[in-house]
Structure formats: structure tokens, C-alpha cells
Amino acid sequence: MKNLIFWVLAAMSHVCLAQTSSSVQFTFVPDWGTNSLLHGVVHGTTISNHRVTVYIFLEEAGGWWIKPSAANPVTLIQQDSTFTVNIAPGGYDQFATRIIAFLIPVTYSPPLLTGGELPGVLFSYPNVSSCRPHGDRSISWSGLDWVVKKSIGTSPITLGPGPNIFNDNDSMVWVDGQQKLHLRIARQGNTWHSSEIICKASLGYRQYKFDVATRVDLLDPNIIAGIFTWDECAPFANPPNNYFREIDFEFSRWGSFNNDNSQFVIQPYNIPGNINRFNMNLSGLSHSVHSFDWSSDSIVFISTWGSSFYSWKYTNPVYIPTPGSENVRINFWLINGIAPTDGMDAELVLNSYATNAGEIACTGNQVKIYPNPMEQKCIIDVISGTVEDLKADIFDLNGNHVKNIFSGKLNIGSCRFTWDGRNDHGVNMPPGIYLLQYRNNQESQHVKIIKKID
């Protein structure tokens, strides 16, 4: 009930803002880990009748804190409508990940928070928020820039998930000479350290595709490899999102050798139908490929290993998030911070990450499909650099075979095939999402085909 009241009041704040046309915005937000001043400006208000109050969120210090201090809880607005706040006067303040400012009347006394949650009453006033990744080291991988998550303190403070100590050292997270990403779980002294990276860009609706080189089917039961979206500022969006726009791949047995080793998740995970577990066996394989295609009306997950695949189409409109300021994240961590059952360090390696992967490449060959979405038919072009055996088939999302497109020897050059939307028996298939499975001598991959209403 407390969360429901919070989100209702948060939504009310935007109604209030629209009615009064008063607003507050940040003009400069300091980088994470620095002590620079926060700058902002207000609009559409009588300066003498208003003040600004600012709060920062510190996971390490138990929640929200008023700034500059409980003894100095409000900031004056200058005659040019600007304001400046020292949000990091001491302690761990410079490591805050969320910052929020409220434009309040001079007659209002803001809550003097030193931890805990923001009271819902604050959201009846115009507000602005900003969020920062928890780290100051950056790496480049697969054409994007990423922040490496970092626990702070001389004796590092644990963070969620887990809780775990997240280590940003280049022996824990690095990109090698082949442009592969490495994340580690390692014991250092008497403590275990985990790793995570956060994409700096927010990419919204699209396909996200990850090529994973590690045998994630053999991870220790206490280890989780996660690939997911997360929006630190989602609670302050319009409308607010209580589940942080989280869409997950997770590879883990969650503490028991008897559990399946993989799952697709839409948060909240405890809603029936929001989690789909399955088992992979990657024996003899060098990698597996995992994608989710996020759109306004569905999220389609596909995991491919060898000639096998598992897919899931999620369509519950209540929990499909809309884009905001979410980031793709990859983490490698321990359940409840508990050591691996085998007491051994572990490593997660990813070959690549791609967005909007509308075509596939398989051992140097390119496969393109157009138009996609299709109506009556689509063209499948294969550009081959070698002579090899090829098998191309259409499947539905439940793994049922629909149509064999080609089986035989593929010569060097360009080959063109057509799918007319029918199965092997000539029956016209219904509109929906289908998968082209492309198998050559060495591996198998899948690409999505959307069949629209004729």
C-alpha cells in the first residue's frame, strides 16, 4: 500500500506541474565520485515565495539524505532564477546515484531525511531528478561505452544485487585483444568480489543480442550471470515505473544443482507468467547467442545453442515497460554474497553485443531478410564466402517446424530464397513471429521474421 500511495502521489506531481507551469531543472550535475556543486534553474514561479530542497540517494548509507544538511535543508533561489547546492559536503555523498530537487513554498518545511524513503507528500511539488552509474572507470566494447560498477570504501561496502562487493579493477573487468569482454568473480583476501558493467547509452525499443563464449550451463550454483535493462530513475518518470524497466536474461541454478540453468524474466518476477525457466546443455559448443526484442506490445526472447533454441514471447501489456533512461547492464555475482560451492574463481566471457540485429552472420556468411515485417512473402539472401552444407528452416516461437527453405550444398557467392508464409504442407501460416534457423557446418543462428496480416 505504501508503494501504491507513492506512485499515485508521484503521478499527481506532474498534474500539479502542468497546472501551475512552475518547474525546476538541473543545468549541471556533477559526475559520480566528484565534489563539484549542483546547478539548476527554476521557471514560472515567484522567486521570493519559493525555495529548493535537494535529496541524494546513497545505497551505502541507507537511502535518501537531505542536502546540504539537516541543519541547512533549503537552498535560496537567486534573482536570475538559478540555484547552486553542495550535494557532497562529506562522508560518501559524492557517490550518490540518484539526485532529486523539489521546488517548495517558503512556508513548507521539508522532511529532514538522513536515510530511508522519500515521503510521498514531496511529490505534490514540481521536481526534477538525475541518476548516475555507480562507478568512474569506463571501457569501450562492441561499439559502446560502459561504466564499470565500483564498491567504495577502504573496506569496500557491499551493494545490490547480492549484496556483493563490486570491483572495477582491470583484473576483474577488461576487453582483450580480440575485443571479447571478460567479467570475473574472484576471492581477494578473505572476501569475494563480483563485477558489473553499465552501458552509458539508453537505447529503448529494439533488438538486443549477446554472443556468450562461456559455458553458462556449468556455472556454480551460487553464481549468477545477468544480462538486463535497468533504469535508476524510473520511479521519477511520468508515469513512474516501480520495476525499473527491468528485462532479464539470467543464467544460474539459484543455489541448487537440481534447478534449470537459465531464465527469461519480466519484472516483477513474482507475478504469474513473468518468468520462464529452461535448461541449456552447451556440451561441445563454443558459444551461445541470446537476444530479446523489446517493442511496445511484446518482448520476444530467443536463446540459441548449436542446433537448439528456446524462445518466449511475452505480451502482458501491464508489465511491458516503455522506454525511459534505462541502460543495458551485464553482471556476474554471487547469491547473497555467498562463496561458490567449489571455492573457485569464475569468469564470464562475451564475444559481442549488438543492437537491432536485423541480419545474421555465420562463419563469415551474411543472411539478410526483407521485407521484414513481411506480408505475402519475404526474400532471404545468403552471401557465402565458402562452399559448405547449409540447412535453413522456419520455426514458430514454440519450436514447431514450419518450413524447410533450403537443404544442400551452398556455393560461393549470393543465393536467394523466398518464403511465401506457408508451411511444408502449403497451409498459409497465421500472422505472428517466426524464426529463420540457419545452420552451416559449424554453428546455428536464428533471426526473427514478422508476418503481418495479409
The full set of domain ranges for the chain reads 2-131, 137-355, 360-451
2-131 has which CATH code? Answer: 2.60.40
What confidence tens digit (pLDDT) does each residue in 49-73 have?
Answer: 999 999 999 999 999 999 999 999 9
pLDDT of residue 367: 83
User: At the top level of CATH, which class does the domain 137-355 belong to?
Assistant: mainly beta
CA dihedral over 200, 205, 210, 215, signed as positive or negative = positive
Rounded to whole angstroms, the Cα distance separating 85 from 201 reads 27
pLDDT at 7: 40
Which stretches of the chain drop beneath a pLDDT of 70?
1-20, 356-365, 387, 441-442, 454
pLDDT given for residue 356 in this prediction: 66
Q: Cis omega before residue 163 (within 30°)?
A: yes
Q: Examine domains 2-131 and 137-355 and report if their fold is the same.
A: no
Q: What is the pLDDT of residue 168?
A: 98
CATH code that applies to domain 360-451: 2.60.40.4070
Supply φ then ψ for residue 8, to 5 degrees: -60, -45
Per-residue cell: 178: 580480440
Report pLDDT for 4. 38
pTM for the structure as a whole: 0.85
SS (H, E, C) the chain: CHHHHHHHHHHHHHHHHHHHCCEEEEEECCCCCCCCCEEEEEECCCHHHEEEEEEEEEHHHCEEEEECECCECCECCCCCCEEEECCCCCCCHHHCCEEEEEEEECCCCCCCCECECCCHHHHHCCEEEEECCCCCEEEEECCEEEEECCCCCCCCCCECCCCEEECCCCCCEEECCCCCEEEEEEEECCEEEEEEEEECCCCCCEEEEEEECCCHHHCCCCEEEEEEEECCCHHHCCCCCCCCCCEEEEECCCCCCCCCCEEEEECCCCCCCCEEEECCCCCCCCCEEEEEEECCCCEEEEEEECCEEEEEEECCCCCCCCCCCCEEEEEEEEHHHCCCCCCCCEEEEEEEEEECCCCEEECCEEEEEECCCECCCEEEEEEECCCEEEEEEEEECCCCEEEEEEEEEECCEEEEEEECCECCCCCECCCEEEEEEEECCCCEEEEEEEECCC
